[in-house]
Amino acid sequence: MTVSTPAQLDPVLPGSPQPGSPADAVERPAGPSLSPSRAADFKTCPLLFRFRTIDRLPERTTPDQVRGTLVHAVLEHLFDLPAAERTPAAAAALVAPEWARLVEQEPALGALFAEIPPAELAGDGATEQPALDGMPDDEGARLAAFLTGAGALLDGYFAVEDPRRLEPAEREALVSTLVDDALLIRGYIDRLDVSPAGDLRVVDYKTGGAPREAFEGRALFQLKFYALVLWRTRGVVPKVLRLLYLKDAEVCDYSPDAEELERFERTLLALSEAIERAKRDRDFRPKPSRLCDWCSHQAFCPEFGGTIPPYPEPSQEESEAPIDGTAPAGADPLG
């Protein structure tokens, strides 16, 4: 993996609209399915996978996580504007309306501000902000701090990329494919750029406040997952898998090859078999690592003195529901 720091990125990569994601999204068959997040969960810790996808235990929502969802939404819609208008000011102007839209969709997000101090809502190094007009002082200051934190991430974005020079082919695109005629793999790609020569670049925005070294392996796993789907659906190995770390204003590029993706495909099949075996045996072992610091379920984890709850008996409806955890990017606390 190569790391680029703040300077502008590589030359213009104008996108050419593709036939669209429907070609990359297949119907869900009866067999197993996996998203990058859930596959990475099992790889990280089988017990974490169980808590999230089988027990479906609630998880705390952190300001970092919600801010990530907000910034992903802003960056997605920034590209709705004509290229010349995609300025830092235009992005900043999208923050409040996108936040209002998210709260309308999910009113519980408003409760995020109930007890968390403004400095924490704004992210590292931020100071308390003045209240917003028309809101109680306390609530307005918390919201202002939160939106300021989102603005800092957008500053990081503009430090590494000029959206006026890009025309993404797809944004927040759901892609999926069947592996080995049995395993459905699918996930949302933040952005896909396609060069006039047909080269693909997969771009993933990373907005979390956690040290990225702890999550880089997981992020790369996610990108290889997308690369495999694109290779299988379009017959092209993506030329670049790109992580944009907005907090650090850094870029990490990785170039996969077909041989590596074939190996990765076998890894996913083995992972799926291991998951099916664990489900059959109801045996999901804890696997402690530094990612435990970000796990919401320590209270139920034997590694932290907790007791695992009884294995849930699924209703017919639940047993037929997908458990691959496919969700738009930015919403996963583990990245």
Q: Which residues bind ligand SF4 (CB under 6 A)?
A: 45, 47-48, 286-288, 291-292, 295, 297-298, 301, 303-304
Q: How far is the CB of 287 from ligand SF4 (least distance, A)?
A: 6
Report the chain's terminal Cα–Cα distance, integer Å: 18
DSSP string, 39-89: HHHHHH-HHHHIIIIIS----PPPHHHHHHHHHHHHHHHHTTS-GGG--HH
Count H helices, E strands: the chain?
A: 9, 7
The residue among 218 and 297 lying less far from ligand SF4, judged by its C-beta, is: 297
Kindly report the length of the chain: 335
Q: How far is the CB of 11 from ligand SF4 (least distance, A)?
A: 41
Task: Characterize 46-77 residue by residue with b for buried, 16 or more Cβ atoms within 10 angstroms of its Cβ, and e for exposed.
Answer: bbbbbbbbbbeeeeebbbbbbbbbbbbbbbbb
Q: How far is the CB of 224 from ligand SF4 (least distance, A)?
A: 22
Whether 184 and 324 have beta carbons less than 8 Å apart is answered as yes
Name residue 7's amino acid: A
The residue among 48 and 252 lying less far from ligand SF4, judged by its C-beta, is: 48
Coil/strand/helix, residue 194: strand
The residue among 107 and 305 lying less far from ligand SF4, judged by its C-beta, is: 305
The residue among 83 and 299 lying less far from ligand SF4, judged by its C-beta, is: 299
Q: How far is the CB of 290 from ligand SF4 (least distance, A)?
A: 9
The residue among 136 and 217 lying less far from ligand SF4, judged by its C-beta, is: 217
Q: How far is the CB of 107 from ligand SF4 (least distance, A)?
A: 29
Q: How far is the CB of 40 from ligand SF4 (least distance, A)?
A: 12
The residue among 6 and 288 lying less far from ligand SF4, judged by its C-beta, is: 288
Of 18, 1, 3, 5, nearest in space to 161 by CA: 5
How far apart are alpha carbons 236 and 37 in whole angstroms?
23
The residue among 43 and 67 lying less far from ligand SF4, judged by its C-beta, is: 43
Element (H, E) at 257: none
Q: How far is the CB of 34 from ligand SF4 (least distance, A)?
A: 18
How far apart are alpha carbons 245 and 160 in whole angstroms?
9
